[in-house]
Structure 1
Amino acid sequence: MSSLHGMENAMLRTLPPDLITNLSINWYDYDETDEEIEEDYSEIENFMHILSMVFYSVAFLLGVTGNGLVIWITSFKMKRTVNTVWFLNLAIADFIFTFFLPLSIAYTALGFHWPFGMLLCKLNSFVAFLNMFASVFLLMVISIDRCLSVASPVWSHNHRSSKLASLVALVVWCLALTLSSPYLAFRDTRSSHNTYKNSTVTHCYNNFAFSDDNNSEHIQYLIAVRHKAMIITRFVCGFFIPFIVIIVCYSIIALRLKKNRLAKKSKPFKIIVAVIVSFFFCWLPYHVFSFLETTTHSSPSSAMMRAIIIGIPLASSLAFINSCINPILYVFMGQDFKEKFKKSILSAFESAFSEESAQTSISKNKCKSISDAETNFN
């Protein structure tokens, strides 16, 4: 029992800050620490801290710059089309999330001590799941859009417009906001004395009971039920249903275009498929470990606890990395988009450093960029 208790204490410090669920505060008595177990897991803990911070830092640097460029290009350098609306909203979701990552980096560096207050604690987790829901819903909508374009080309041609796409994107954001809102309610902070570190630490955690008293059976039952409900809702709405819809849509597309070689050579089609595959590859491990996490409400084995201690930080880091992958895919899979990146960056530097007489030349380059972009995204 002491061994399991020691692993639980180690888990508290190892879990990632943004996607940490109910594995903090609810079980832990910080005045009871098995020093031997703590030492055994200190090496794993330190490794996970370093690895998490590396992943978070990479995601932040690439995500903010890459998605920022995509937002700029699709907003100001390209004509508004249905596809640019989709890519713009995907980039906005990822940009907002990666913009908050420095809080997670600091939280991890401080040994999971949260000095930023309750408001940012709530927002940090809320933004993480807002990104997840918005991204997967947008990918589902993109799949439906591509399916309609192939299955009903005449209807799609008559009704498909950037205005309708913008309206659909707005609905997606509203739905994502609704499903993410419980994290604003449940997320809380609590300060406790950590005997192992001989200091007072503040944790950002999910207070499913809305109470500091976690000892009664009723409260423990309430915590377990709400925790499982959150995980099931997150999996069903944020992964399973979109996955089924996307599989069905692309199965229809594959059947309709089986003999169409142009479909295989379509750069936008390849990019969209790559974005969808990367999303599900990055998020599937997190959902798997989230379900495993629910078993800890009963009497988990030491092997299960060890797997969760190691697996959740890795799975969460992989999910974080997904927020910076899309711009990389745009560059390496779409030669035209790659040229847009180069031309847009060059245009920015020319505009900043050029003399007044050079403005005419820059304007011409912008017009040409818009023309090229229409070809690439339509």
Structure 2
Amino acid sequence: MTKSNITLPLLFTLLTFIDVSTGAANVFNVVSFGAKPDGVKDSTGAFLKAWEAACGSAAAATVMVPSGTFMVKGITFGGPCKSRLKFQVAGTVVAPPDYRAFGNSGYWILFNKVSKISLIGGTFDARANGFWACRKSGQSCPPGVRSITFNSGKDVIISGVKSMNSQITHMTLNGCTNVAVRYVKLVAPGNSPNTDGFHVQLSTGVTFTGSTVQTGDDCVAIGAGTRNFLISKLACGPGHGVSIGSLAKELNEDGVENVTLSSSVFTGTQNGVRIKSWARPSNGFVKNVFFQDLIMKNVQNPIIIDQNYCPSHQGCPTEHSGVKISQVTYKNIQGTSATQQAMKLVCSQSNPCTGITLQDIKLTYKKGAPATSYCFNAIGTSLGVTQPTSCLNR
């Protein structure tokens, strides 16, 4: 399989959709339905009324959120709708000031079973400081909500959106097909707990390009069932880097395949590119992954595979990961490691990683000493310059 096998059909589909998605004729302004741009009044009902009118329109339609600040509680924009939709945001949407207002719902803004939709522009501020303080204090807290979620969506464009201060994940795709995410900014403090940036699972044909992620957890988290996922021109940091996994959460778990990350920069992150799985039985797999043309700036673990993931030390210390990792390429990755061990490939004791390729790697330890590598059950080849020296088994 070559990279072009992933990109060309996907890009053709996305460009075709983009060309025909911009002609919304009917505009439904949330202010016309009673929303107040004062950041205080609850505008949830007005947003829903505008959505219902647009969703029911036989012609392409736009939900317009104008300039101003609008407070919205947990809300679900449900489909399917009759025609193409644009959700255009010029202003700022904020969450309720009391984080407990969401209860155990798990969502702030949810688009459910909506196809042929564009979410364009705007700032979404979940105002999660109180929630983070609760989590850090050890109190009994709600589970937290994802800021923007698309469930079972098809032909989706997300562009120019800024998400701030998410309780947990900023933006989630679950069970989606053919999604283009571009020029978004996902921002939370580096010490905010579990604030993933962009999370994808059970989804096919997703692109994530030209975006900035500064957060307290993974910049991009790639979950089970992700296929044909392209990431490019990502600026990541602070955060935990780009992670495939954690996998092996369940025995019967879908695999991850055809993932490409290119032309991206990691600054001060905990990890660069990581594949991680719990050390327990699983039918899952990871295959056909390309990490290429990446710059690491003071990254603690620039290249890492961890198949002994077991942070709770419960139910997994004596197990081996069943996740099969194969055909993973690391090409033209350069920069500095904040730790001397710049490359660590720890694969399953019962399922070695196979088909690992290292090509033109140049990672140096920032303190001047040579960087090192460590491998366990990792089988593959090295091409061109490999610094630190390759530890792969052949």
Report the TM-score, using the length of structure 2 for normalisation. Answer: 0.20
Give the structure with the larger helix fraction.
1
Structure whose alpha-carbon radius of gyration is higher: 1
Of structures 1 and 2, the one scoring higher in RCO (CA 8 A, sep 6+) is 1
